[in-house]
Amino acid sequence: MKRKRFPWLEIVLLIVVLTVVGVLVNNLAVNLIRTGLGLSFEWLWQPAGFALSEHTLPYQPGDSTAWALLVSWLNSLRVIACSIVLATVLGVGAGAARRSLNPLLRQLAALYVGLIRQIPLLLQLLFWYFVAFLGLPSEPMAPIGALISISNQGVAILGLNLSVEFSAVLVGLSVFTGAAIAEVVRGGLDSVPKGQWEAFRSLGISELLGLKKVVLPQALPAILPALSSQYLNLAKNSTLAIAVGFADLYAVSDTAITQTGRAIEGFLILLLSFLALNLLINGGMQVLNRIVVRPAQRT
Amino acid sequence: MTKRRSLISLLSACLAISACATLGDGDASRVDLIRNRGELRCGVSGKIPGFSFLQRDGSYAGLDVDLCKAFAAAIVGNPSKVQYRPLTAPERFTALKTGEIDLLSRNTTFNLSRDASGGNGVSFAPVVFHDGQGLLVQRNSGIRSLQDLKGQSICVGSGTTTEQNLNDAFQSLGLPYKPIKYQDLNQVVAGYLQGRCQAMTSDRSQLASARSGFEQPEQHVILGDVLSKEPLAPLSSGRDQQLSDAMRWVVYALITAEEMGITQDNVDNKLQQAQDNPDLTKLRRFLGVEGDLGDKLGLSNDFVVNVIRATGNYGEIYNRHLGPDSAVPIPRGLNQLHRDGGVITAPPFQ
């Protein structure tokens, strides 16, 4: 048996990391003392003093800053959750279409993925908001009867009212992430041996059924890990909502920081909130992984 | 030996005195320096329509620019002897401190930190434009006051206290509203023009400047309501009492001339009247026909006449650049004379 080497490298690395962290923390503490600030979270309980354009829980400018941040966190959560659903539908559809037998469907999906992946997300969001949604007439249009009505003041689907800002972020994030998910799905489908496709086709099973029963169960283990990292990206990209006037967590923290001057505390809260959000998504994906992948691997 | 010592002490005394004399030379007022140079170096922005904006022919025009001309008329005796230095906001105080410019006339907010010696340590002349946060609405919207904006969407930018001022105003009136917050002014303008908001908010001078770039500026109006205080004033480095006094009283002369109804057109008539009628003592003192007010400031005794001939009174300057017929119309509001309901007033010329 080989004798264990003394871990010089690890120890040196540890010292370097601790020194860097120590210098940063010391720097922060010294500067905070010098400017007479010091860390304080008292301001969280002061009245916020600004209104929010949309909120799911009751909110007034006289409520505390902490409450304003929580309300905006829920706004973020809402748009992220809806975008994840819509992006998954779009992505799986487009990914499967790229391996479809129908050439038109294949080309359309390739065009969508190719186009969307080449354009920065910020530009796409600005396009959806300023050109697509605000370009709508101010009088509501109802293309499919009472089912849906859209104008540049808002969108109503089956009596559910959505602001244009929310709609633009939802569509922008979903379309952008959908293109990335389409590639993930295509990669997963390609990882399934060609013989599997030929097998179900030769048995006369329909494309959709074969995809569902034969190919996808084998492709999922390759798809899921990459999919969850796309979901995490989507959550982080949602902070670009500030560019199109959506009152998400980042936009509201920005206002709170400007008004209180508490930049360090504000960013700490922002970091922790996003950590919590992404841990939530990560946890959800691990549960999904356990439910979907393990049984599939057992069979 | 003693002789030698006394000689040395005499010599050193001479040296000390001459050293003091050189120091004294350095203390000569900037006013004399400007007069000897024959030209005033005035810091402006050059990018704000109505305040200081580069014209097509390469000259500058605006309220801030006219003040430079008034100062030059008072100090040098000729309003065209001005060298304009376009400066960005971060550059302006450095340029003033290093003496690159004599004075700054660049829509700068007068506040304690800038005035105090523990802060920027500059010296402000009287406020020449009371700016403040305002609201821009469509002319045909029927919105005439804050009350009409009840429950409406208002486009607002990030990064200043704009949101707080907006909320303070609406909350104190008990009016609900919807702020649509964007990251910068261009997006605020786009959101407003696309019809997302019934109003947009920013400093009134900025609203007016932004509006002058719209396709149909006359279709938009700035409401009379002002939500915050942003008093703009010219300033000097704070090391020169004589220059800051001269600037202070040039601005007061512009205001007093408007109070007394003296304009660019009638100033020569008024001067004639003052010279002919010894009973008009107030007018005679103001125009330097009698007394020594100008001399006390280290200016020519008739500096007021030079200033009014060059730029007209305060009201004329305002109307030329920000009046209803100008390219950047801003309602006078607080900038009216005190007797007309504004806050513009001047101490007596006595």
What pTM does this model have?
Answer: 0.70
Rounded to whole angstroms, the Cα distance separating A48 from B90 reads 30
Across the range B191-206, mean pLDDT stands at 91
Task: Give the H/E segment covering residue A122.
Answer: helix A121-126
In the predicted model, is pLDDT for residue A92 greater than 80? yes
Residue type at position B131: D
A interface test, pick of B138, B193, B196, B227 with most A CB neighbours within 10 Å: B196
B interface test, pick of A43, A52, A53 with most B CB neighbours within 10 Å: A53
Please report the pLDDT score of residue A208 as a whole number: 86
Listed in sequence order, the residues at least 6 apart from B224 whose beta carbon sits closer than 8 Å to its beta carbon are: B145, B331, B333
In the predicted model, is pLDDT for residue B158 greater than 90? no
Confidence of residue B9 (pLDDT cuts 50, 70, 90): low
CB contact under 8 A, B158 and A134: no
Q: Which residue of B has its CA nearest to A166?
A: B180
Query: Which of A53, A152, A242 has its CB closest to that of B179?
Result: A53
Q: Which residue of A has its CA nearest to B179?
A: A53
Q: Which residue of A has its CA nearest to B158?
A: A255
CB contact under 8 A, B194 and A258: no
CB contact under 8 A, A130 and B163: no
CB contact under 8 A, B195 and A130: no
Across the range A129-158, mean pLDDT stands at 85
In the predicted model, is pLDDT for residue B267 greater than 80? yes
Average pLDDT, chain B: 88
Residue A162 CA, chain-centre distance (Å), reads 19
Looking at beta carbons, which residues of chain B come within 8 Å of A259? Answer: 161, 163-164
- Residue A243, helix vs strand vs coil: helix
- Tokens 């600030």 locate to A37
Residue type at position B280: L
Kindly report the nearest CA distance between residue A258 and chain B, in angstroms. 6
B interface test, pick of A126, A130, A166 with most B CB neighbours within 10 Å: A130
pLDDT (tens digit per residue) in B285-332: 999 999 999 999 999 999 999 999 999 999 999 999 999 999 888 889
Kindly report the nearest CA distance between residue B319 and chain A, in angstroms. 36
Return the beta strands (E) in B132-188 as ranges: 133-138, 153-157, 178-182
Average pLDDT, chain A: 89
Q: With CA atoms as reference, report the closest residue to B258 among B190, B216, B320.
A: B320
Residue B3 CA, chain-centre distance (Å), reads 62
Kindly report the nearest CA distance between residue A132 and chain B, in angstroms. 11
Please report the pLDDT score of residue A38 as a whole number: 66
Task: Output DSSP code: residue A47.
Answer: B
Rounded to whole angstroms, the Cα distance separating A186 from A223 reads 9
ipTM of this predicted structure = 0.77
Specify whether the CB–CB gap between B237 and B123 falls below 8 A: yes
Across the range A271-297, mean pLDDT stands at 84
Please report the pLDDT score of residue B160 as a whole number: 59
Per CB distance under 8 Å, which residues of B are interface residues toward A?
A: 153, 155, 158-161, 163-164, 166-168, 170-171, 176-183, 187, 190-191, 194-196
CB atoms within 10 A of CB B92: 21
Task: Give the H/E segment covering residue B124.
Answer: strand B123-124
Residue B342 CA, chain-centre distance (Å), reads 16
Q: Which residue of A has its CA nearest to B182?
A: A245
Rounded to whole angstroms, the Cα distance separating A116 from A124 reads 8
Rounded to whole angstroms, the Cα distance separating B145 from B131 reads 18
Specify whether the CB–CB gap between A231 and A281 falls below 8 A: yes
pLDDT (tens digit per residue) in A49-63: 888 989 989 998 889
In the predicted model, is pLDDT for residue A228 greater than 50? yes
How many beta-carbon pairs below 8 A join chains A and B? 70
pLDDT (tens digit per residue) in B51-75: 999 999 999 999 999 999 999 999 9
Tokens of B129: 């434009």
CB contact under 8 A, A245 and B181: yes
CB contact under 8 A, B181 and A49: no
Tokens of B146: 């804050």
Query: Which of A138, A251, A259 has its CB closest to that of B181?
Result: A251
Query: Which of A53, A61, A255 has its CB closest to that of B158?
Result: A255
**How much helix, strand and coil, in percent to the nearest 5, is found in chain B?**
45, 15, 40
In the predicted model, is pLDDT for residue A248 greater than 60? yes
Q: Which residue of A has its CA nearest to B190?
A: A130
Rounded to whole angstroms, the Cα distance separating A255 from A262 reads 11
Please report the pLDDT score of residue B5 as a whole number: 57
Looking at beta carbons, which residues of chain A come within 8 Å of B155? Answer: 245
Number of H helices, E strands in chain B: 14, 15
Please report the pLDDT score of residue A142 as a whole number: 80
Kindly report the nearest CA distance between residue A74 and chain B, in angstroms. 18
In the predicted model, is pLDDT for residue B124 greater than 90? yes
Task: Output DSSP code: residue A46.
Answer: S
Query: Which of A61, A130, A134 has its CB closest to that of B171?
Result: A61
